[in-house]
Chain A
Amino acid sequence: DAKTTQPNSMESNEEEPVHLPCNHSTISGTDYIHWYRQLPSQGPEYVIHGLTSNVNNRMASLAIAEDRKSSTLILHRATLRDAAVYYCILNSLGLDKLVFGAGTILRVKS
């Protein structure tokens, strides 16, 4: 399984943008980059995914490096409800399964 590397934790101020990085230097050309988050006492929640181009949805934006070896999840205005563990996961061809790493604990300060 292709691996991802994320910082253990990050801190942000409320109402400021947050950039959560993810390195995936062994990504293959057909791997999709998925982001999930897990709020306290809840199951993981899908955030966004992409292949090559940057993606936007109502929750966040995903910026993918040109060489695809890294990506960044962007929360445009962090709120206290965004405090969660954020997971960057590669979904590989033929697997249809997710392998979770340790993720990044995001703390949001008011």
Chain B
Amino acid sequence: SAVISQKPSRDICQRGTSLTIQCQVDSQVTMMFWYRQQPGQSLTLIATANQGSEATYESGFVIDKFPISRPNLTFSTLTVSNMSPEDSSIYLCSVAEQGRDQPQHFGDGTRLSIL
């Protein structure tokens, strides 16, 4: 299965600042996703990162707050903009081949705390 690396693994940021999280995969993949996991909660899908085009955002998430890039088939970034304490979460990247019978593989996430 694909090996996914996320950077940074954790960070503490000041409110009002922005942070860019990187997701690197060791092989080309069709689908890349970004999730958020708030403390003690399950995972919520933020968006699907599309290569060469704008990401597809889920309800409640907007591009201005969570801009996403995907320049190629092995790399994506998620930026958390103008952060507030409510953005303190774990942000996870996952990858899969296209198809509902394809498993997703996850990175270990970025633990973000906003002061």
A interface residue count range (under 10 / 10 to 19 / 20 to 34 / 35 or more):
20 to 34
A44 touches B100 (CB 8 A): no
Q: Enumerate chain A residues within 8 angstroms of B101, measured Cβ to Cβ.
A: 32, 49, 51, 91
Q: Looking at the assembled complex, report how far the CB atom of A95 sits from the nearest CB atom of chain B, in whole angstroms.
A: 7
A92 touches B103 (CB 8 A): no
Q: Enumerate chain A residues within 8 angstroms of B4, measured Cβ to Cβ.
A: 43
Identity of the chain A residue whose Cβ is nearest the Cβ of B100 in the assembled complex: A91
A41 to B57, CA, bound (A): 26
Contact with B along A34-51 (1 / 0, CB 8 A): 101000011111100101
Q: Enumerate chain A residues within 8 angstroms of B45, measured Cβ to Cβ.
A: 97-100
B44 touches A49 (CB 8 A): no
B100 touches A32 (CB 8 A): yes
Question: Could you list which residues of chain B lie within 8 angstroms of chain A, going by C-beta atoms?
Answer: 1, 4, 31, 33, 35, 42-45, 48, 92, 94, 96, 98-109
Identify which of A34, A91, A98, A102 gathers the most chain B CB atoms within 10 Å of its CB.
Answer: A98
Q: Known contacts being A32-B101, A49-B101, A51-B101, is A43 close to B31, with CB within 8 Å?
A: no
Q: Enumerate chain A residues within 8 angstroms of B106, measured Cβ to Cβ.
A: 43-45
B43 touches A100 (CB 8 A): yes
A87 to B105, CA, bound (A): 14
Identity of the chain B residue whose Cβ is nearest the Cβ of A48 in the assembled complex: B103
Identify which of B44, B96, B103, B107 gathers the most chain A CB atoms within 10 Å of its CB.
Answer: B103
Q: Enumerate chain A residues within 8 angstroms of B109, measured Cβ to Cβ.
A: 42-43
Q: Enumerate chain B residues within 8 angstroms of A91, measured Cβ to Cβ.
A: 100-101
CB interface residues, A 28-70, toward B, < 8 Å: 30-32, 34, 36, 41-46, 49, 51
Q: Looking at the assembled complex, report how far the CB atom of B45 sits from the nearest CB atom of chain A, in whole angstroms.
A: 6
Question: Is A93 an interface residue when CB atoms closer than 8 A count as contact?
Answer: yes
B100 touches A92 (CB 8 A): yes
Q: Enumerate chain B residues within 8 angstroms of A7, measured Cβ to Cβ.
A: none
